[in-house]
A = this chain, B = another copy of it.
Amino acid sequence: MNQASRAPTAAIIVIGDEVLSGKVEELNARFLVRELRALGVAVRRIEVVPDVHEEIAAAVRKASAAFDHVFTAGGIGPTHDDVTIAAVAAAFAVPVVRDSGLAGLIREVSGERFFERDLRMADVPEGANLIRGEDTRHSRWPVIAIRNVYVLPGVPSILQRKFAMIRERFAAAPFYCRQIFSRESEGAIADTLDRAAADFPNVAVGSYPHLDATDHKVLVTLDGRDEPAVVRACAQIVAGLGKAVVRVE
């Protein structure tokens, strides 16, 4: 794969017993996958881990080393099951420290409803970056980041607002995509796909049986950052499939 076509990579680590127990539907990874995709970032891993310090720390440490960007979602409130900050700090072997600016903000915002425990939300890994959006109407609360790890909350509406604060920094070159609908089964078209995948190593060729479709059997997808390569791979597959092609999008 040539340098120009290499997309920045990302991993998403969802922290939450509630997802693993099926109590809540997982919305955050789905949101981040689409946002990052639109930005030209290739998500290479999604992991859902329980609210367990060691497991989060291990997942963060590994993902931080393997991918360009890492996003964690969940586990940053004031309760006993909110262990993400400590785990992310542990992943990089740094202590957790209380940020005085955040602590002041918590006291100010809470007013009479202040609880000592809320100050846990002012705790950050030592050396963390507190990223504030340009548009402070959106949030006075910064996104906490350390190295290439961005710590996001688990409540989907807040996660989305926070991500909006940092999304521009991930903008990369976009992906080019084509879809080919085939009336023949995967077995019938596999050789053609194999050849295209081998001939165009920087184009990702996907093949998905659509059992419930009436006008086609398989959706073939092509994706890459090298537009001419995507176009040529598409033409080669369309030629190879011949009459099997229902349509190209």
A residues in contact (CB < 8 Å) with B? 14, 17-26, 29-30, 33-34, 37, 42-51, 77-81, 110, 113-115, 117-118, 155, 157-158, 185-191, 193-194, 197, 204-209, 211-212, 221, 223
Contacts and interface: CB of A to CB of B under 8 A. Distances in A.
A115 B208 CA distance: 17
Given A18-B208, A191-B117, A77 B186 contact: yes
A45 B48 contact: yes
Contacts of A118: 187
A23 to B, nearest CB: 7
A44 B47 CA distance: 11
Contacts of A26: 26, 29-30
Given A186-B79, A190-B117, A197-B80, A206 B17 contact: yes
Contacts of A48: 29, 45-47
A44 to B, nearest CB: 6
B46 A21 contact: no
